[in-house]
Structure 1
Amino acid sequence: MNDHRRTEPSRTADDRTSLTGFLQYQRETLELKCAGLTTDQLRHKAVAPSGLSLIGLVRHTAEVERIWFQAVWNGEDSEAYWPGTVNGTFAEFDSDQADPVEAFTVWRTACARSREIVDAAESLDATVKWRDELFSLRYILTHMIEEYARHNGHADLLRERIDGSTGE
């Protein structure tokens, strides 16, 4: 896992650069946790009884990127990448037949679109109303950092159970 480098966030940057830097760092951490694994390993539900897998996390974070940046912030009417539910859970977590190439392509595309949307926004304090709630761009970026950090903790456990790799 050590051959992938992550971009360290600035320790002295302004708010926008700090928030986007930490979000990118968390994205790169997820990719690092998945690096070098086979399709079966990426699909493996390594911590019973949970149905969580690394590829499910990649697919889920692609959906979260789409929802928060495209739908909520930008008001786009974007369709879910993996619509519906399977066995009572979001379809993106159904990893039994998940294609890693497709999942990483969708995720990387969603991340790139999110970066474009954030770059185009005038202010972190700007707000949008979505489903009768008001959200600032600052809130969305902070929430996304939290979302990735939580799931990267899951990824740590999954990766360790798959092949013993630990650490950031």
Structure 2
Amino acid sequence: MTWRAPEITRTPELPVGDERAMLESWLDYHRQTLLLKCAGLTGEQLRTPSVQPSTLTLLGLVRHLGEVESWWFRENFAGQQFDYPYGTPENPDADLDVRHADAEADFAIYHEQVALARAATAGRSLDETFTEVGAKKRTFSLRWVYLHLIEEYARHNGHADLLRERLDGVTGE
């Protein structure tokens, strides 16, 4: 039997709540939106680029956003050291190269990265700051990271809309 991306029921974002609950709600909403755009597709479909010369794929977005979560929440904010599943210092964009990717395994990795990102921020103050890893050494708050991730998912979910429509005509949501 051919593996297909699982169906998902998206949880509506909170219209009222404290700041932390609302930020987490919006981030979860966008995480689920990405998965909704992939639902029901085969690994081959998830690896299919929209139009040349672009190599952007739905699976590449899943892999990319999982690594973005790990980079911001785990490596930068929590100071955790770990091996990234795709990107390396020599090839930081390997997350987007899905030519030989296993979609089912990559979805499992994505879910693990999200769970580890949640764990890295559990009980931590939105006002807590950290200095960015790398050359720029900018200082950010955890609040900023939530807002940035919401923005990044929203932008990439727009790409996902177009990719999905090109694959099978599915739009909306």
Query: How would you bin the TM-score normalised by the shorter chain?
Result: over 0.9
Displacement, 1:83? 2.6
1:58 to 59, 62, 72: 62
1:79 to 65, 83, 86: 83
Q: What is the aligned partner in structure 2 of residue 134 from structure 1?
A: 139
C-alpha contact 2:78 2:121 (8 A) present in aligned 1:
no
Displacement, 1:89? 6.9
Deviant stretches of 4+, over 3 Å = none
Q: Distance in 2 between matches of 1:85 and 1:99?
A: 22
Task: Decide which moves more: 137-146 or 40-49.
Answer: 40-49
**TM-score (normalizing by structure 1):** 0.92
Residues 1:94 and 2:97 aligned together: yes
Code of the residue aligned with 2:70 in structure 1: it is R
Residues 1:24 and 2:28 aligned together: yes
Q: What is the aligned partner in structure 1 of residue 4 from structure 2?
A: none
Displacement, 1:117? 1.8
Partner of 1:120: helix, strand, or coil? Answer: coil
Partner of 2:54: helix, strand, or coil? Answer: coil
Q: What is the aligned partner in structure 2 of residue 49 from structure 1?
A: 53
**TM-score (normalizing by structure 2):** 0.90
Q: How many residues align?
A: 165
RMSD over aligned CA atoms reads 1.8
Equivalent runs, 1:100-115 vs 2, <5 Å: 100-115=103-118
Residues 1:117 and 2:117 aligned together: no
C-alpha contact 2:43 2:104 (8 A) present in aligned 1:
no
| CA displacement 1:99-137 (0-9 Å, x = unmatched) | 11111011000101111122231x111111124211101
Q: Distance in 1 between matches of 2:51 and 2:156?
A: 14
C-alpha contact 1:43 1:95 (8 A) present in aligned 2:
yes
Code of the residue aligned with 1:146 in structure 2: it is E
Gaps of 5+ in 2: 1-6
1:147 to 149, 152, 157: 152
